Amino acid sequence: LEGYSDANWAGDLDTRRSTTGYVFKVPSGLISWRSTRQHTVAKSTAEAEYMALSGGTQEAIYLRQLLAQLSFPQTAPTTIFEDNMSCISMAHNPTFHDRS
């Protein structure tokens, strides 16, 4: 199971809300994808990306459980690719960050 997560910061010019997107695949093809507006206004690109990664992580947990119930247990960790370095840094160091 492999995932990709992304967001655009304040993409809606009227509400300033960001759009979250993620996709998950197995070797045989895509099994889950989503694109939706975020419920809150992100104050930075990193915050928008982190919210997208959070949604993607929740989906990955669900998919791992579903695949296990369907007799396709995932033994390797699920990798979720992300292109924002601030978001990656926050994910690797899950402590309080006063600026994000």
Give the residue ranges of DSSP H helices in 25-94.
45-69, 85-92
Number of domains in the chain: 1
User: Is 98 inside any structural domain?
Assistant: no
User: Is 26 inside any structural domain?
Assistant: yes
Expressed in angstroms, the distance from the first to the final Cα of the chain is 29
Reported as a pLDDT band with limits 50, 70 and 90, residue 91 is: confident
Query: Which residue has tokens 């579903």?
Result: 66
Range of the domain at 42: 2-92
pLDDT, tens only, 21-66: 999 999 999 999 999 999 999 999 989 998 999 999 999 999 999 9
User: Is 100 inside any structural domain?
Assistant: no
User: Is 71 inside any structural domain?
Assistant: yes
User: Is 74 inside any structural domain?
Assistant: yes
The pTM score is 0.84
User: Is 62 inside any structural domain?
Assistant: yes
